Structure formats: C-alpha cells, structure tokens
Amino acid sequence: MILVTGGAGFIGSNFVLDWLARTDEAVLNLDKLTYAGNLENLASLQGDARHVFVQGDIGDSTLLDSLLTQHRPRAVLNFAAESHVDRSIHGPEDFIQTNVVGTMRLLQSVRAYWQSLDEKQRTAFRFLHVSTDEVYGSLSPTAPAFTENNKLEPNSPYSASKAASDHLVRAWLHTYGLPVLTTNCSNNYGPLHFPEKLIPLIIVNALAGKPLPVYGDGLQIRDWLYVKDHCSAIRRVLEAGRVGEIYNVGGWNEKPNIDIVNTVCTLLDELRPRGDGASYKTQISYVQDRPGHDRRYAIDASKIERELGWRPAETFESGIRKTVQWYLENQAWVTHVQSGAYRDWVQTNYARRS
Ligand code: NAD
Ligand code: TYD
C-alpha cells in the first residue's frame, strides 16, 4: 500500500479518489482533519477496504512509527500542510508547526522505517513531497517562468514554511540517503476545493449574491492547473521520477486574477443566469490588497514533459467549465463546509479589506 498524508484535503482527496479508481493498491490516509480536511470528500469510499483512514497529525512520531510498522507502505506521499496564504499572514504558527516541524517528524519516522526494510524494498521505496511554485518567490512581468534551478525566494509565511520543508526533504536525501522526490506545482483548481481560495470563493459568493473580492488591482498572475492533472503528474513522478529530483508541474496557463473572475462570471451567466438578468460581473468588488502579495508566478513544466512524458490533459477552458459545473451540482457540499468556523474566517479576512 501507499501512505498518503493530508488525503482529506482538496488535492489529497482528489488524489486518493483517482488512485483507487485506477488501481487496487490500498491507501493508508493520515489526516488531522483541520478546518481544511473533510471526510465528506471521501464518502464514496465508505466500505471500501482499500481505503484506511486514520485521523492524526504528521507531527505525532509515536503514531507514525506504529502506522508505518503495521501497514508497511512502499511509498509515502506528503500532501499534509497548512495551505492558505491569507491565513498564514494572520497566524503563521500552525504553518511552522505542520509544514516545517511536522514534515521533519514525518521524515524522521519514515527514515527509521525505511532503514528497517530489506535491501530490495529499500531500493524501491519513495518519499514524495508535494510542494508549490510559491517557494520560488515572485516574477517580474517579463522574467522567464520558474525552472527547477530557480533559487527559493519565498515571500509569505506559507511559502517560507513550504520552502523550509523542501529543504528538509533535500537534506534527508543528501544526509541519510532517503529516496525522495519533490513536485512544485502551480495553483490548482477543481472539485472539492475549499471556498477560501480564489476560484471556489468566487463561485460560492456569486451564487449567494455576495461581493466578489478582488485583491488590489487584480492583475496578479498565477498559473492554473486542473487538480486531476496535478494528481496524474504526482502518479507519474512516483512511478518514474529520478530519486532526488525536483519536478515543476504547471498548466501553461498564466492568467491575471481579474480574468479568472470574469471567466467564472461568464460561465455562471451561461449556466445559472441571475434572476434579474444582470451579469455576475456586477458583483465584482476591488478590495484592499494582500500584504506582500506576489505579483506573478509562472511554471516551466518542460522537465516533467521531457523526462516523464507528462502534460496536462485539460485546457483552462475545459477545466474551469467542469469546475463551475461541479459546484453547481454539489451545493450540499458547499453548505456543509460553510460551518461557523468558515464564517469566522470570512469575517476575519474580509471585514478589514472593504
Ligand atoms: P488543503 O489545505 O486543502 O488540505 C490540507 C490537508 O492536510 C487537510 O485535509 C488537513 O486536514 C491536512 N492537515 C493539515 N495539517 C495536518 C497535520 N499536521 N497532520 C496531518 N494532516 C494535516 O491543501 P491542498 O490545497 O489540498 O494542498 C495539498 C498540498 O499541496 C499542500 O502541501 C500544498 O502546499 C500543496 N500545493 C497546493 C496547491 C494548491 O493550489 N492548492 C498548489 C501546489 C501545491
Ligand atoms: P489563492 O486562491 O488564495 O491562492 P494563492 O494565494 O496560493 O495563489 O489566491 C489566488 C490569487 O487570487 C492570489 O493572487 C490572491 C487572489 N485573491 C483575490 O484576489 N481575492 C480573494 O478573495 C482571494 C482569496 C484571493
């Protein structure tokens, strides 16, 4: 089996669902179930013996040691993290605890387990660390896209904590020989995305008749990748990636935020027109910018294409249409995640911006 951490979050749950749809190899899913973890994402796996869920923290060494000894995975994929930049600005502590200390503890437990394997299993074992393009910092409008050789120049508490975890993973290879792989991916979007991030927030607010908050001038650029394409890239790196290598993953889809918001509004105008006939674009509201807001991210994903033959299957146009349709068809999921804690966060983040 494989061990997936953070498999009840957005990307992790998409990964687990896709994995079990493709293979019978079981998944041990370790997730703390923070506000971002949601077992409802995995409801379709209820009763499926191939999915073993354990609620727990990647920083809990005792739990990790016993899970590894008991289940003997052939690979560990680390998705678990605090992942939202705005939350890291309001409270960096959890980000250091999970993304840095938690990753270190996970690496330590995995190393001890890996050393206990026989030589054949040790050679085949992999630790795959799921990271972000945000570790590379911000690009000027004309700079070339990030390659794996870019320096890590993180600017937010979130990206700094992810960069620290990337360094730890590298160190566990060089110092202890642990067979690691790292992926640095651009902004994901798709089903099961928690509506604190831009795309699901815009869909959910639009349908609720609420303002669509665009930070600053809305001209910050991100590269966007449909989440299922990220999952296929991770599967491919796990299968064929060279030990110790970093693989940048991206969608070749650089877009300013305001274009993303306009695209979502246009799709909603077509698929679920407002009662009064006006466009959802009339709800767009420019609000105070994020402090230290990175201006542009862009990923050069040619290494993973050249070496491993991976390319995204979705264009932005096909992926965003599927995403909007998914939210329209899964209103109950949205209602369930909008708990009291969610409403508190919306108040914390947006009250002072208007
Ligand atoms: P998410 O916030 O939706 O999910 C994170 C999951 O990790 C949640 O289920 C949460 O309960 C769990 N978790 C948090 N702390 C934990 C801990 N201490 N122990 C165990 N589980 C814990 O995040 P996501 O968007 O699914 O991102 C997954 C990974 O991919 C993260 O490492 C993130 O940095 C990386 N990434 C995300 C994006 C993106 O656009 N969302 C892009 C590139 C890379
Ligand atoms: P987000 O989805 O939080 O991802 P990240 O910060 O990791 O890139 O934000 C994507 C972009 O959208 C980012 O430039 C910030 C911007 N943004 C808004 O303009 N309004 C919002 O309400 C949010 C949450 C983000």
CATH number, domain of 66, equals: 3.40.50.720
- For 351, counting Cβ atoms within 10 Å of its Cβ (0-12 exposed, 13-18 middle, 19+ buried), the class is exposed
Per the structure, the count of domains in the chain is 1
- Looking at the domain assignment, is residue 36 inside a domain? yes
From ligand 1's centre to the CA of 8, what distance in Å? 9
Check pLDDT > 90 for residue 60. Answer: yes
Q: How many Cβ atoms are within 10 Å of 326's Cβ, its own excluded? A: 16
Ligand 1 proximal residues by C-beta, below 6 Å: 5-6, 8-12, 30-34, 36-37, 57-59, 79-83, 98, 102, 130-132, 162, 185, 187-188, 194
Q: Which is catalytic among the residues 134, 196, 223, 229?
A: 134
State the pLDDT confidence band at 201, using cuts at 50, 70 and 90.
very high
Confirm if 58 and 103 have CB atoms less than 8 A apart: yes
Q: Ligand 1, atom 27: nearest CA belongs to which residue?
A: 11
- Looking at the domain assignment, is residue 7 inside a domain? yes
From ligand 2's centre to the CA of 41, what distance in Å? 22
State the pLDDT confidence band at 27, using cuts at 50, 70 and 90.
very high
From ligand 2's centre to the CA of 199, what distance in Å? 8
Check pLDDT > 90 for residue 184. Answer: yes
Check pLDDT > 80 for residue 354. Answer: no
pLDDT in tens, 256-268: 999 999 999 999 9
User: Does 86 participate in catalysis according to the annotation?
Assistant: no
Q: Tell me how far apart the alpha carbons of residues 187 and 249 are, in angstroms, rounded to a whole number.
A: 10
The number of residues in the chain equals 354
Confirm if 169 and 243 have CB atoms less than 8 A apart: no
From ligand 2's centre to the CA of 274, what distance in Å? 25
Q: 27-31 and 187-189: which strand pairing?
A: unpaired
Positive/negative CA dihedral, 266, 191, 136, 196? positive
- Nearest-ligand number for the alpha carbon of 166: 1
At residue 68, the 3 state secondary structure works out as helix
- Looking at the domain assignment, is residue 50 inside a domain? yes
State the pLDDT confidence band at 315, using cuts at 50, 70 and 90.
very high
Check pLDDT > 90 for residue 291. Answer: yes
pLDDT for the residue numbered 81 = 98
* Partners of 212 in beta bridges: 284
- Looking at the domain assignment, is residue 156 inside a domain? yes
- Nearest-ligand number for the alpha carbon of 7: 1
- Looking at the domain assignment, is residue 186 inside a domain? yes
- Looking at the domain assignment, is residue 213 inside a domain? no
Q: Which helix (H) or strand (E) holds 323?
A: helix 316-329
Residues of the chain with pLDDT > 70, as a percent, come to 100
Q: How many Cβ atoms are within 10 Å of 145's Cβ, its own excluded? A: 21
From ligand 2's centre to the CA of 197, what distance in Å? 6
pLDDT for the residue numbered 340 = 83
User: Which tokens is 3 given?
Assistant: 């061990």
User: Does 153 participate in catalysis according to the annotation?
Assistant: no
The single-letter DSSP state of residue 31 is: E
Q: Which is catalytic among the residues 31, 82, 133, 166?
A: 133
* Partners of 128 in beta bridges: 77, 181
- Looking at the domain assignment, is residue 17 inside a domain? yes
Residue 283 Cβ inside 6 Å of ligand 2? The answer reads no
Phi-psi group of 47: left, alpha or beta (phi > 0 → left; psi -120 to 50 → alpha; rest → beta): left
User: Which residues have a Cβ under 8 Å from the Cβ of 15 and sit 6 or more positions away?
Assistant: 4, 7, 77, 79, 231, 234
- Looking at the domain assignment, is residue 37 inside a domain? yes
Range of the domain at 123: 2-191+225-251+297-313
Residue 197 Cβ inside 6 Å of ligand 2? The answer reads yes
pLDDT in tens, 219-236: 999 999 999 999 999 999
User: Does 158 participate in catalysis according to the annotation?
Assistant: yes
Q: Tell me how far apart the alpha carbons of residues 323 and 10 are, in angstroms, rounded to a whole number.
A: 13
User: Which residues have a Cβ under 8 Å from the Cβ of 133 and sit 6 or more positions away?
Assistant: 146, 184, 185, 186, 187, 223, 248, 250, 297, 299
pLDDT for the residue numbered 159 = 98
- For 60, counting Cβ atoms within 10 Å of its Cβ (0-12 exposed, 13-18 middle, 19+ buried), the class is middle
Check pLDDT > 80 for residue 186. Answer: yes
pLDDT for the residue numbered 342 = 86
pLDDT in tens, 88-118: 999 999 999 999 999 999 999 999 999 999 9
State the pLDDT confidence band at 352, using cuts at 50, 70 and 90.
confident
What single letter denotes the amino acid at residue 162?
K
State the pLDDT confidence band at 353, using cuts at 50, 70 and 90.
confident
User: Which tokens is 19 given?
Assistant: 């994995």
Q: Which atom of ligand 1 is nearest to the CA of 80?
A: 7
Residue that is written with structure tokens 């509506």 in the block:
195
At residue 13, the 3 state secondary structure works out as helix
